[in-house]
Amino acid sequence: MALSQQSGILQQGASEERGENARMASFVGAVAVADLVKSTLGPKGMDKILQSMGRGQEVTITNDGATILKSIYVDNPAAKVLVDISKVQDDEVGDGTTSVVVFAGELLREAELLVNQKVHPMTIIAGYREACDCARSVLELISFNNRSDPALFRADLLNIAKTTLSSKILTVDKEHFANLAVDAILRLKGSGNLEAIHIIKKTGGTLQESFLDEGFILDKKIGVGQPKRIEDARILVANTPMDTDKIKIYGARVRVDSMAKVADIEAAEKEKMREKVRKIIDHGINCFINRQLIYNLPEEMFADAGVMAIEHADFDGIERLALVLGGEIVSTFDNPDTVKLGHCKLIEEIMIGEDRLIHFSGVALGEACTIVLRGASTHILDEAERSLHDALCVLKETVSDARVVFGGGWPEIRMAKAVEELASRTPGKKALAMEAFARALRALPATICDNAGLDSAEIVANLKAAHGAEADSRMGVDVVRGEAGDMAELGIYESFRVRQQVLLSGTEAAEIILRVDDIIKCAPRKRG
């Protein structure tokens, strides 16, 4: 208990940790979180099973750092900072979620040793800052850009996708999935709107049977007795109740003298419904998609008018559908001239596995496409979707910022070398912090080796020597052969944005945790 507790400054139930204790708690928490995800880093990383203790006891099997950290409940305040940076990394660039946490954890581990040697935290932060600036400029220097040559650029994108996927479950068919992801992203023509890429998961088959479809697939069936195939479709996308053709007895209180009156009311309801359906058909459409249910009467009327009616399209699906077909979601039908209809060349029913789906081809937004994932179980499909989503995000970033670096720990070794050279020219204790920063950078390739069961000390030393001997060496960790290998030949490329984000976020997170010297926990106020 701290002094302030006894002197009665803090209320009962609040606790305070100061100075060394607070710093210890922060370091321990952050390093523990980093060690939790450390084993998932790299192509030979392991997966984690997350089981919720809730009612459903759902099980998630994943290798994605952000997913793991999002799902665990952490009590340590410093650990929460790391969980946050991995989340931001996931939203910002999609990949590198594990690297950023491991890097921040290593920086803190080094900082702890320095603090024990009586180096002030602010000195460490100043050293880290300068080292980070130095590393960033080196990273910018060593990146290269092939945007001017479409064939080379596509090859870069493919390599980046393969590198991203190689640490995930899709690594077996990474050629196939890398091609899927690159095709999908290049269809976007640089708009970077991932909404237009729709991912559908269907159990059954194998991962190899997944495919990219150049249209839009809606996971619904076509109603009874309606046309199964429409060419040159004019589509009205709506969100409106179509389920009031009989009185709902439960909710309504109606006082009448005889059953005939109830029949009258029902007839009036039906007439209202008919009127609504007529208004909808007056838009000159031949396909009506509704977010809500469509009852038998309107469905029958649509069928008579030769209009395809699709009911209960889920909301996510319908917003995306309106976007892709170039229409608007409508709720009132009084002035048909102001409504923007959606268009597509052909609507038909297709079979995937045992399910029937509706396929829209020739859609207005030519960028749209659907990736259908097949797989043995829902767990595999969920993980495959996360992996593919990561790959798509990274490719999207690379299309907007075309700079590329080699992967496999190559940029970290280069940056560490530059930071160490800077440290040797820097006077004072700051130099110690810079050397620590370089060691933390080298911990990333070392972790990749450790996870593959290789001798990390030897391989990292070999890499260091190779880069020291040759200024533009391309050596990185080759986990397959278990030695240092040429990254360009192996095709291990990464997006510049991802590496830069890892460097900056990791340094900032370590800095914010280093600044802590007091942790106050308060009990919630009691209800009076």
Cα 422 to Cα 443: distance, rounded to the nearest angstrom: 19
Active site residue 398: no
Q: Are residues 100 and 501 in contact, defined by beta-carbon separation less than 8 angstroms?
A: yes
Burial of 227 (0-12, 13-18, 19+ CB in 10 A): middle
> What one-character-per-residue DSSP string does 258-318 give?
SHHHHHHHHHHHHHHHHHHHHHHHTTT-SEEEESS-B-HHHHHHHHHTT-EEE----HHHH
Which one from 60, 62, 67, 98 is the annotated catalytic residue? 98
C-beta of residue 433 within 8 angstroms of C-beta of residue 123 = yes
Q: What is the pairing mode between strands 483-486 and 287-290? A: unpaired
Tokens (6 digits) for 317: 């699906």
Q: Give the CA distances from residue 375 to residues 65, 179, 220, 269, 311, in Å, rounded to whole numbers and listed in that order.
A: 22, 18, 20, 47, 28
Active-site residue, from 64, 95, 382, 450: 64
The answer to whether residue 338 is catalytic is: no
- Residues sharing a CB contact under 8 Å with residue 56, sequence separation 6 or more, in sequence order: none
DSSP 3-state assignment of 92? helix
> Running DSSP on this structure, what letter comes out for residue 98?
H
Contact indicator for 365, 326 with CB cutoff of 8 Å: yes
Active-site annotation holds for 97: yes
* Rounded Cα–Cα distance for residues 449 and 45 (Å): 10
CB 362 within 8 A of CB 216: no
Angstrom CA distances, 464 to 295, 355, 415, 417, 459, stand at 71, 55, 11, 8, 9
Question: Smallest Cα–Cα separation from 310: which of 183, 387, 411, 220?
Answer: 220
Specify whether 62 is catalytic.
Answer: no
Q: Catalytic pick from 90, 95, 382, 390?
A: 390
Among candidate residues 97, 163, 164, 370, the one labeled active-site is 97
Q: Nearest CA to 111 among 37, 20, 27, 38?
A: 27
Which has the closest alpha carbon to 436: 130, 230, 48, 138?
Answer: 130
Does the CA dihedral 468-448-435-506 come out positive or negative? positive
Alpha-carbon separation of residue 281 from 235, 305, 403 (angstroms)? 11, 8, 52
Nearest-angstrom CA–CA distance, 154 and 160: 10
As annotated, the active-site residues are 64, 97-98, 390
